[in-house]
Amino acid sequence: MTDGIAGKVVVITGASSGLGEATARRLARDGARLVLGARRLERLQALAEELALDGDAAVQTDVTRFEQVQHLVDRAVQLHGRIDVIVNNAGLMPHSPLERGKVQDWERMIDVNLKGVLYGIAAALPHMKARRSGHIINVSSVAGHKVRPGSAVYAATKTAVRVISEGLRQEVKPYDIRTTVISPGAVQSELPGSITEPDVAEGIRSFYESTAIPAGSFANMVAFAMSQPDDVDINEILFRPTRQEI
């Protein structure tokens, strides 16, 4: 499943760990040309060196700052002359009941999970429109399909990603740009570590330990969507561990 991947210029946000790192490893193996963004530059540079990426392919990026996301995309264009795919992956999941009023957590989720995706679209889309070619992959969640107690704001951001992705799909049809939104269930990542409430964190940690599947499962979904012929547009992928009920 490497057709449609080899040689493509791919930008990945949140690439220093978890789903983003696994995707970078998979796509590098399949011959993609990667430019990676994340806040933790040291980890990002180590990954880029390990994958033998082109120089300056690791770009310190806070997706809550549009100018930094723009710089990340511009780096890909400077290095390779274009951007073929952007994977808007960076995300946080600080669950808590609304009654606890974790306003700062809410704001962080909105800034990273929602605005970060919008900034990725805004930075990549002009380049893709000019070439009448490209693929925008946004990361939602099972929580974007099913809200549970304690996950209201997180679920709201991930539902919004699905809505934005569908609107984007319709708007970019004249430019032959493909769009995919991927909604994973429990997949091994650092997301549980972003939870600030100790009791909630313990419950999620236990759930992930018993249920989560490797991050490579997400990378496989990205590769599947990318590897389709140009006239096939995989718009939405929803997947869970086999043992995950909700």
Q: What is the largest CA-CA distance in the chain?
A: 50
Q: Is 154 a catalytic residue?
A: yes
SS (H, E, C) the chain: CCCCCCCCEEEECCCCCHHHHHHHHHHHHCCCEEEEEECCHHHHHHHHHHCCCCCCCEEECCCCCHHHHHHHHHHHHHHHCCCCEEEECCCCCCCCCHHHCCHHHHHHHHHHHHHHHHHHHHHHHHHHHHHCCEEEEEECCHHHCCCCCCCHHHHHHHHHHHHHHHHHHHHCHHHCEEEEEEEECCECCCHHHHCCCHHHHHHHHHHHHHHCECCHHHHHHHHHHHCCCCCCCCCEEEECCCCCCC
In angstroms, how far is the first alpha carbon of the chain from the final one? 29
* Residue from 119, 154, 175, 208 carrying the catalytic annotation: 154
CA-based radius of gyration for the chain = 17
CA angle 241, 39, 112 (to 5 degrees): 60
Residue 169 DSSP class: H
Active-site residues, by number, are 154
